[in-house]
Amino acid sequence: MANKAPQNSSAEAEVKQVLTYLSSRADALDRYSEKLRTSLVKIEDVFNDDKRCSVCGQQEHYLAHEAKRTGEGCHSFAPMLRIHLGSDFAKKDKEPFMTATGKYSQGVEDFLVFEKGEIGIREEDGSAEYASNYGFGAATREELKAMVKTGRLLAFLQAVGEAVKGREEDYKAVSELAEKMAQAISS
């Protein structure tokens, strides 16, 4: 019986060491996941809200910005970069950045989508029956990781740029035609 006590003590110490290690790894994973989410939400916000501060992310009339004007701290409001493509501009990525393999979600694909002036994620099951849109802040860490790791985010933003360029050229041609028509009336 004397031998069992040291073995139990050794096993206890080993389990404790493993659990401490796992806890440390889980904390690091949470930190990196939050860093990833924060970075992607900043990209998402470029398209979503023109009244946020690029320094702190708060609304324009946030108390800390008001305090700066009276010399009480924080910083002056610095507007966030805003890209407004209009609420009628819509584009869905041609390739999913992730396909679910779980028991209840097998075959569900995640696509990047730009709709109603906002970038986000569309979850589809391949049928017309199910589709759901949500923002980067609501995505799982695996979805966020896949979005970046697969390269789909950058490819999608480039595709949106090309679509906007095509749209710009269409509007340019139509506006020039309208201008010529207006000049004909005033001549």
**pLDDT at site 77:** 73
Say if residue 65's pLDDT is above 70. Answer: no
Q: What is the 8-class DSSP label of residue 59?
A: B
**pLDDT at site 30:** 94
**Domain boundaries in the chain?**
4-48+85-186, 49-84
User: By three-state DSSP, how is residue 63 classified?
Assistant: helix
The Cα-based distances of 135 to 55, 127, 143, 146 in angstroms read 21, 21, 11, 15
The Cα-based distances of 124 to 53, 121, 139, 143, 174 in angstroms read 34, 10, 14, 14, 36
**pLDDT at site 172:** 94
**pTM for the model:** 0.73
Say if residue 2's pLDDT is above 70. Answer: no
Q: Which region, left, alpha or beta, applies to residue 170 given φ > 0 means left and ψ of -120 to 50 means alpha?
A: alpha
Q: What is the mean pLDDT of residues 12-40?
A: 94
pLDDT band at residue 131 under the 50/70/90 scheme = confident
Tokens encoding 65: 């910005």
Distance from C-alpha of 187 to C-alpha of 182, rounded to nearest angstrom: 9
**pLDDT at site 53:** 75
Q: What is the mean pLDDT of residues 52-59?
A: 72
Q: By percentage, how much of the chain surpasses pLDDT 70?
A: 86
Q: By percentage, how much of the chain surpasses pLDDT 90?
A: 48
